[in-house]
Amino acid sequence: MKYLICIVFSIGIQIAVFAQDKGALSVKDSTATNEIYLAALQPSKAAFYSAILPGLGQAYNKKYWKIPLVYGSFAATTYYFIYNNDKYQEYRSIFKEKKIDENSHPEYSLEVLQRAQKYHKKNRDLSMLVTLGVYVLQIVEASVDAHLQYHNTDNTLSIAPILFRDPINGKTVLSAGLTYNF
């Protein structure tokens, strides 16, 4: 039985080898096309890049003009954070000195110093939250921009200011108008 299986197997391989004719007709690839497709941007990749380094997602989307806006926003919020933190620390140290010695800094009362500390601490914390908001906003903006990169943005649907006469009082009113063109 072993010999019979080996003989059948050997003959089967030889038939398969002779069936491979090199001079056969070549067929043109029908799946090849001459069209060039633009690679769609991946929103998750844009968001990841923006999370790693702010502005990098905007560069990935090739919207280089947005990068200075991102860093300008971070610079402004960081400036206000540092300014309010410095003022908070200044009023806090004056408050501590005034608690020890009532005669130091006669231009300030304890109540004024407490209010100034509270005001600058609140603004410092708010600056930090705005900085965090700018960080999240630039990530979301990069992701949405990559998602909407190749969508149809023609003027069939538009929002534009419209002047119309109010039927109740007869005055001309400026309003936002939503227009859909067929």
Give the global pTM: 0.64
Residue 109 lies in a domain: yes
Helix axis angle, 67-100 to 110-147, nearest 10°: 160
Q: How many domains does the chain have?
A: 1
What's the pLDDT score for residue 66?
A: 96
The average confidence (pLDDT) of the chain is 84
**CA nearest neighbour of 181 among 166, 165, 160, 163:** 160
Residue 146 lies in a domain: yes
Cα 120 from Cα 123, distance rounded (Å): 5
Q: Residue 4: in which H helix or E strand, if any? A: helix 2-18
Instruction: Tell me: pLDDT of 64 over 70.
Output: yes
Residue 77 lies in a domain: yes
What's the pLDDT score for residue 167?
A: 84
Cα 37 from Cα 48, distance rounded (Å): 24
Residue 83 lies in a domain: yes
Instruction: Tell me: pLDDT of 133 over 90.
Output: yes
Instruction: Tell me: pLDDT of 12 over 70.
Output: no
Residue 37 lies in a domain: no
Residue 103 lies in a domain: yes
- Percent of the chain scoring above 90 in pLDDT: 52
The region of weakest confidence among 29-33, 56-60, 136-140 is: 29-33
Instruction: Tell me: pLDDT of 178 over 80.
Output: no
Residue 21 lies in a domain: no
Instruction: Tell me: pLDDT of 57 over 60.
Output: yes
SS3 call for 101: coil
Q: Which whole number is the average pLDDT over 96-117?
A: 91
> Which amino acid is it at 179?
T
Residue 157 lies in a domain: no
Structural domain of 88: 43-151
